Structure 1
Amino acid sequence: MLLTISGLTKSYSTAEGPIAVLKGIDLHLQAGESVALTGESGSGKSTLLHLVGGLDQPDGGRIIVNDRDIATLADAERALYRRHEVGLVFQQFNLIPSLDVAANIAFHARLAGRQEPEWERQLVEKLGLTALLNRYPEQLSGGQQQRVAIARSLAVRAPLILADEPTGNLDEATGDAVLNLMLSLSGEAGSALLLVTHSMRLAGKLDRQIMLRAGRIGG
């Protein structure tokens, strides 16, 4: 089992008092598996993804990735975890403005010491980025930036890919094509994929669907 989550809880402080976002989540993901995380806005999907990605720490519970509980890691250890074991695709893209497309795609893999030019070339070609390699993020549309972010996340061949609405800035036809490519390319990389989406139609393309309702796994 690549990922095992048990009893995961998370609350945030507000002026009116603490708000419980996750209320005891249990979830597992096998190597090579694709799982869609669905649910209404505010159900805790993005919070869960941030916790699994080591971007935040839970209040309680365990997040076991490759037999290690990342919920207990210190900041420096979580940074190494994000560098080597996770590929992240979030709605904000988080591309580096001063780097062109080629350098953005290579950035994560280079940090992790796993840069593979031939694999990057395949990603660029299959995601339709060949003509954009010398451009900078500000010169790209939202959909183009999203495809660059997807290429960057896959370039490192991380065991776990976390994607938050990765097709949200694309039209339906392009979104379908990009998701199909993500599934194909993550499979080629041997990565497991945990993907947040509001679309049950897109969720149906993945191996399993898990629904969050008010901070709990629903039916």
Structure 2
Amino acid sequence: MIDSDLPLLNLRDICKSYGSTPVLNGVSLALNGGQTLALTGESGSGKSTLLHLAAGLDQPSDGSVHLDGEDIGRLDDAGRAQIRRDRIGLIFQQFNLVPSLNVAANVALQAQMANRFDAAFTAEISDRLGLSDLGARYPEQLSGGQQQRVAIARALAPRPELILADEPTGNLDEETGDIVLTLLLELVAETGAALMMVTHSPRLAQRLSREVHLSRGQLAVQ
């Protein structure tokens, strides 16, 4: 349950280093339910690292990540995995589809695990992403762009509170990319979810309500 008095996602003074190499240095930002945020910056600026930290896939060297007021860094691995399953939609550049499951089963997987499977909503998402005729195929039978669309549908099917997307249109043509972003924005509007999206496209970034630019591990523009 989202507490409307708190930011849905609150990153406080985030620092992250790998060995002696600093990647993020004191990054703070907050995102409320219903808000959309474009995260831009040159390669190596820390964008993907920040998304991984927001998802609880990695731990900050300093600072904290709060989801609806809860410090997810205080949770164990199982607790963070449960939050990702039940409350976060992850769309990363690695598709991470289950090779032994067909498209329909891959799309439904997270929603079923979170006990929020809605057959009609899943069918609607699949149709809008052009997957309706691919349900019986397996990941190895799909192009990269088709696999990306399956991964996006899987992330959206549970109607997550927070959507974290790393270049979600990077493997798609411009027309399909626009469809995907429209679907993301409509889901945010319909459900009150929040969206943080890494993108290199100024055109796509302009469609989101806020833009944050990372440079050398720090916020340069907000």
Q: TM-score, normalised by structure 2?
A: 0.94
1:127 aligns with one of 125, 129, 137: 129
Equivalent residue letter for 2:185: L
Equivalent residue letter for 2:22: A
Shift of 1:185: 2.8
- Matched with 1:77 is 79
2:18 aligns with one of 12, 37, 46: 12
1:144 aligns with one of 120, 143, 146: 146
Checking the alignment, whether the CA contact within 8 Å between 1:154 and 1:186 is kept in structure 2 is no
Cα root mean square deviation, aligned: 1.0
Task: Tell me the SS of whatever aligns to 1:25.
Answer: strand
Spell out the pairing of 1:163-202 with structure 2 (5 A cutoff).
Answer: 163-202=165-204
Shift of 1:189: 3.4
Spell out the pairing of 1:27-66 with structure 2 (5 A cutoff).
Answer: 27-66=29-68
1:91 and 1:189 mapped to 2: Cα distance? Answer: 24
List structure 1 segments (4+ residues) > 3 angstroms apart after TM superposition.
none
> Which deviations, in whole Å up to 9, do the C-alpha atoms of 1:132-185 show, x marking residues without a partner?
011111111111111111110011111001000000001222212221222113
In terms of mean alpha carbon deviation, does 96-105 or 65-74 score higher? 65-74
Identity %: 57
Instruction: Please tell me whether residue 99 in structure 1 is matched to residue 101 in structure 2.
Output: yes
1:123 and 1:186 mapped to 2: Cα distance? Answer: 14
Equivalent residue letter for 2:203: R
Q: Unaligned regions of 5+ residues in structure 1, if any?
A: none
Spell out the pairing of 1:198-217 with structure 2 (5 A cutoff).
Answer: 198-217=200-219
> Which deviations, in whole Å up to 9, do the C-alpha atoms of 1:93-121 show, x marking residues without a partner?
11110000110011011111111111101
1:102 and 1:115 mapped to 2: Cα distance? Answer: 12
Checking the alignment, whether the CA contact within 8 Å between 1:84 and 1:112 is kept in structure 2 is yes
1:207 and 1:67 mapped to 2: Cα distance? Answer: 23
- Matched with 1:22 is 24
1:156 and 1:174 mapped to 2: Cα distance? Answer: 22
- Matched with 1:3 is 9
Task: Tell me the SS of whatever aligns to 2:145.
Answer: helix
Q: TM-score, normalised by structure 1?
A: 0.95
